[in-house]
Homo-oligomer: A and B are copies of this chain.
Amino acid sequence: MSDNSFGKLFRVTSWGESHGLAIGCVIDGCPPGLPLNEAMVQEALNRRRPGHGKYVSQRREPDLVQILSGVFEDDRTDGPRTTGTPIAMVIENIDQRSKDYGDIRDRYRPGHADFTYDAKYGFRDYRGGGRASARETAMRVAAGVVAKQILHHLYGENISIQAAMVQMGTDKIDRDHADWGRLYENPFWCPDEQAAARWAEQLETIRKNGSSIGAVVEVVAKGLPAGLGAPVYGKLDAELAGALMSINAVKGVEIGAGFAAAGLSGENNADEIRMGQAGPEFLSNKAGGILGGISSGQDIVARIAVKPTSSILTPRKTITSAGEETEIITKGRHDPCVGIRAVPVAEAMMACVLADQALRHRGQVG
């Protein structure tokens, strides 16, 4: 990964600050001939804000995406298709309120990147978090749409990548009651209806108190073939870990059994293999679909820990950029559980990593 790019054959570069003129991305390496239009990307972006404003902070802008290059349509195509050249997408920052940012300009918000950006660069666009803002993740979602088109192109319509919230605070879903077909029916992308109901109640209290709470998000890719990934450093799980950890507020990544694997014996951890109708079948999936860094054909399963946002109404001890001790309250927009926002982003990042590995695989082995 480079500072603002990731991927090797399918390469995403993002740019833009929270309160600059616009944010955008450039996607290089998409194969030619794939259907892609703004409506497809817009739909994915809209899902980032699933009509339940109380839990997700709302900028008063529609986040309208424009595709500026890399697609083309003429009378021989049924709509715009990719050309193989770089796809540039941009979203204007309409909602750049010219408010007074002196508060966060000079006082480092605990748990935010204010202090470290200053330590690194000495000079930064502090408005709304600048480059460190989660607003950047809109472009990841946009890139994820392109990545999914590639995966469908290569492996058919039956593959799927879905992310869901599986834990809020310490309250986990009940896997026996999980229905991944109904993720969109609650504001948490939660597969367990009852958990969603509990979380809704709890989060309302947290929101009113000006507090926040962490979460765990799970991403599952189904239908991918065995053989994707690379040995040693370019392992599929290593690249997933890097990509997922790069999402704002993520503090942990695990694959398959993850940290629970530390507590297992070899007998309980290694997934046995039998022959099924359609080929090898594993009797369990502790590995999360990845062995030796290469996909096994099972579901690819990753989970991320998302910390609670540090933008809370309780006054917090901090210092100014001049080194004076002070306190700060983070006013303004407020996400009581940023884990919700991380759901579509995690899904997109897995799609991007898989698309890149798929193209690399085809290049080396295809």
- Report the minimum CB–CB distance from A238 to chain B (whole Å): 4
Query: Which residues, 232 to 260 on A, are CB-close (under 8 Å) to B?
Result: 232-235, 237-246, 248, 251-260
B297 in contact with A83 (CB, 8 Å): no
Query: Which residue of the partner chain, among B2, B6, B290, contacts A8 with CB atoms under 8 Å?
Result: B2
Query: Which residues, 14 to 31 on A, are CB-close (under 8 Å) to B?
Result: 14-17, 20-24, 26, 28-31
User: Contacts A226-B119, A269-B308, A272-B318 known; A29 to B1 CB distance under 8 Å?
Assistant: no
B265 in contact with A213 (CB, 8 Å): yes
Is the interface on chain A under 10, 10 to 19, 20 to 34, or 35 or more residues? 35 or more
A245 in contact with B253 (CB, 8 Å): yes
State A339–B233 Cα separation when bound (angstroms). 19
User: Contacts A238-B242, A243-B238, A363-B363 known; A259 to B216 CB distance under 8 Å?
Assistant: yes
Chain B residues within 8 Å of A359, by CB: 363-364
Chain B residues within 8 Å of A26, by CB: 4, 13, 15, 24, 26
B280 in contact with A214 (CB, 8 Å): no
- Binary interface encoding of chain A residues 155-189 relative to chain B, with 1 for a CB under 8 A from any of its CBs, else 0: 00000000000010110000000000000000000
Chain B residues within 8 Å of A4, by CB: 26, 28, 85-86, 230-234
B292 in contact with A117 (CB, 8 Å): yes
- Report the minimum CB–CB distance from A1 to chain B (whole Å): 5
Chain B residues within 8 Å of A6, by CB: 233
Query: Which residue of the partner chain, among B17, B29, B125, B307, contacts A264 with CB atoms under 8 Å?
Result: B307
- Binary interface encoding of chain A residues 27-50 relative to chain B, with 1 for a CB under 8 A from any of its CBs, else 0: 011111100000000000000000
State A15–B26 Cα separation when bound (angstroms). 7
19 inter-chain pairs at a CB distance below 8 angstroms, sorted by A residue, are A2-B8, A3-B29, A14-B233, A15-B70, A30-B364, A83-B124, A84-B120, A84-B123, A112-B270, A115-B291, A116-B227, A233-B246, A242-B245, A245-B255, A259-B305, A262-B306, A265-B308, A274-B317, A275-B323
